[in-house]
Amino acid sequence: MSYFKTAMLLAGMTALFMGVGYLIGGASGATIALVVAAAMNLFTYWNSDRMVLSMYGAHEVDVRSAPDLVRLVAELAGRAQLPMPRVFIMDNPQPNAFATGRNPENAAVAVTTGLMQSLSREELAGVIAHELAHVKNHDTLLMTVTATIAGAVSMLAQFGMFFGGNRDNNNGPGLIGSLALMILAPLGAALVQMAISRTREYAADEMGARICGQPRWLASALAKIDNAAHQVPNYEAERTPATAHMFIINPLSGQGMDNLFATHPSTENRIAALQQLAGELGPRAPSPPAGMPRGPWSRPARGSGAARGPWG
């Protein structure tokens, strides 16, 4: 996602935020909303990684506490010509992963214990390569900022429902307008998220497949993750659904076919695109990472704060 598209998205989300403020409080409400949006964007820019990692209870690991995982990330980051990101583990049974951070120099990759339990080393390499593609494409800041603004739009719309419905039609939206505001404003913010999320996922799939060298590794991982995501709940994501688009697979529910309201492309379509890419690359595909760990995953060191599971 280019910086221009990022700027356009943020401008659109901010305009929506201001529009809700105007409907609630007139010109003064729009001004207040603009100031709040600017402050939120600035705060999110500098704190996006800490916000989302804390939200999901992620624990940072290093080469001593999770050596195989960290070395795999380092190898793939080198292949992607990226700085080494910080590595986190989330104690969550649902297999999933996301990347965050305001730029490649301040990026983080987080995986769940469920992901490490259910995937092979090759499949995990595909997932991590996908997340590094988000970092390389500068998607990570965009994902967190849109989640923040979309959540704020929803909260402001609910605020308008409680405080705007009692105002007369000359000064506020009234009861009917407040009901429409509560429904349409969050929907508009969600549509912006969903539209960019689908394009971003396809791009990260392709780049991630090229980084790890084997598109079928990622295709196999997506199939496994999608199947488990339908069966294993992610309670943290359920409490903060505005962050669902950050994960490699929707942590809330299955999407079915691509449509206007899907936060992710359909997994079947993504796998088909990766299979096609594998056919195009054929024997010309780059070799898999030389540093792929061959032994079992190492157990985090005692007292490291890393989540533990049977992958250790």
Catalytic residue among 131, 236, 238, 280: 131
Locate 174 and state its tokens. Answer: 């009234």
Using the 8-state DSSP alphabet, how is residue 92 labeled?
-
Exposure on the CB side of residue 265, measured as CA atoms within 13 A: 19
The answer to whether 128 and 119 are in contact (CB under 8 A) is: no
Supply angle C-alpha 94, 95, 96, rounded to 5: 105
To the query of whether residue 131 is one of the catalytic residues in this protein, the response is: yes
The answer to whether 80 and 138 are in contact (CB under 8 A) is: no
User: What is the torsion angle, in degrees rounded to the nearest 10, for the CA atoms of residue 33, residue 39, residue 42 and residue 46?
Assistant: -130
- Can you say whether residue 165 is alpha, beta or left, with left for phi > 0 and alpha for psi between -120 and 50 degrees? alpha
C-alpha distance from residue 290 to each of 153, 220, 258, 287 (Å) = 46, 20, 36, 8
Q: Which residues contact 72 (CB under 8 A, 6 or more apart)?
A: 121, 124, 125, 128, 289, 291, 292, 293
For residues 290 and 76, give the distance between their C-alpha atoms in angstroms, rounded to a whole number. 10
C-alpha distance from residue 6 to each of 3, 94, 200 (Å) = 5, 30, 12
Catalytic residues: 131
